[in-house]
Amino acid sequence: MVPISIEKFVNKHCKNNPEENPVHLRESLIQAVKDKKKGATCTNCGQEIWAIGSAVSHLGCFSCLTGETDSSQDYEIDEVCWS
Ligand SMILES: [Zn+2]
């Protein structure tokens, strides 16, 4: 995955999604990062969660949230981007 900081992702996402509240998004991302560090797993398949997808949508891994298997072009928060 492509590492990105929380601040950079918030700016980028809110530019593309003007209805998104940056304060809420940032809080959700911080929470998702905490969850991932604690070893949270996808409720559907048991893989480690995708912090960005879990913040924007709901708790889950990349494959379950997007329906895709190739995550090489997608962002993940830098501090939990270990795969
Ligand atoms: Zn999954």
10 Å Cβ neighbour count for 58? 10
**74 and 2 Cβ atoms separated by less than 8 Å:** yes
Q: What is the pLDDT of residues 2-14, one digit of tens each?
A: 999 999 999 999 9
- Say how far apart CA 22 and CA 80 lie, in whole Å: 20
Amino acid identity at 83:
S
Q: What is the pLDDT of residues 25-76, one digit of tens each?
A: 999 999 999 999 999 999 999 999 999 999 999 999 999 999 999 999 999 9
Angle among Cα 24, 44, 48 to the nearest 5 degrees reads: 65
Ligand 1 centre to CA of 14 (Å) is 26
Domains in the chain: how many in total?
1
pTM, to two decimals: 0.93
7 is in which domain, residue-wise? 2-80
Ligand 1 centre to CA of 81 (Å) is 17
